[in-house]
């Protein structure tokens, strides 16, 4: 691909400089950038620069963008983002150029990302397990079914992030 970072760097109104190496997550639903970082457990111990652009104007209304310098996140890791930002695109940047561009894909399962909404679920107890959900899409809505108690979360997934 090797194109310039034009599509998300040079649009009028973006105030963050292009990054030399790392990952740019673009087309995040407006208002979800902080949740994206939360899912990715960033910045955590990560020491390089992480830039966040919230409510940036775009062709389809507003969007958020996250730029993570000096780290190429793995596609699998990024797929978790699809729970709250299914239209996000992932751009791997090397030498200021877009090396790879992918849409996030809905993973089959997510583990340790979301808390089950059922207070009586075994995953909400002191047992040595992490929450696990099967992820599926129905009528363009992302649903999470707890593999333990089978309770379904289909709305406000961001409210239940661990």
Give me the residue label for tokens 């200021």.
96
Looking at beta carbons only, is 8 or 133 nearer to other proteins?
A: 133
The smaller minimum CB distance to other proteins, of residues 91 and 123, is found at 123
State which of positions 142-161 bind other proteins (CB under 8 A): 146-151
Query: Applying CB under 8 A, which part among 9-17, 97-105, 123-131, 135-143 lies near other proteins?
Result: 123-131
Dist CA 37 CA 40 (whole Å): 5
Query: Least distance in Å: CB of 118 to other proteins?
Result: 6
Tokens of 150: 């089978």
Among 57, 94, 111, 122, binds other proteins (CB under 8 A): 122
- The edge-to-edge listing of strands for the beta sheet with 50-58 is 3-4, 97-103, 89-94, 22-29, 61-69, 50-58
67 or 132: CB nearest other proteins: 132
Q: Which residues have a Cβ under 8 Å from the Cβ of 73 and sit 6 or more positions away?
A: 23, 40, 90
Among 45, 59, 60, 125, binds other proteins (CB under 8 A): 125
């Amino acid at each position: 691909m090797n194109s310039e970072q034009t599509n998300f760097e040079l649009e009028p109104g973006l105030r963050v400089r292009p990054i030399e190496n790392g990952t740019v997550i673009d087309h995040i639903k407006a208002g979800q950038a902080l949740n994206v970082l939360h899912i990715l457990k960033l910045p955590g111990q990560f020491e390089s620069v992480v830039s966040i652009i919230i409510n940036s104007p775009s062709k389809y209304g507003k969007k958020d963008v996250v730029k993570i310098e000096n780290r190429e996140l793995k596609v699998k890791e990024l797929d978790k983002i699809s729970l709250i930002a299914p239209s996000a695109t992932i751009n791997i940047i090397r030498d200021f150029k877009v090396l790879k561009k992918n849409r996030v894909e809905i993973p089959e399962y997510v583990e340790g990302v979301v808390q089950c909404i059922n207070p009586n679920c075994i995953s909400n107890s002191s047992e040595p397990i992490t929450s696990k959900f099967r992820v599926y899409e129905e009528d363009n809505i992302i649903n999470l079914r707890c593999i333990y108690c089978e309770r379904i979360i289909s709305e406000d997934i961001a409210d239940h992030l661990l």
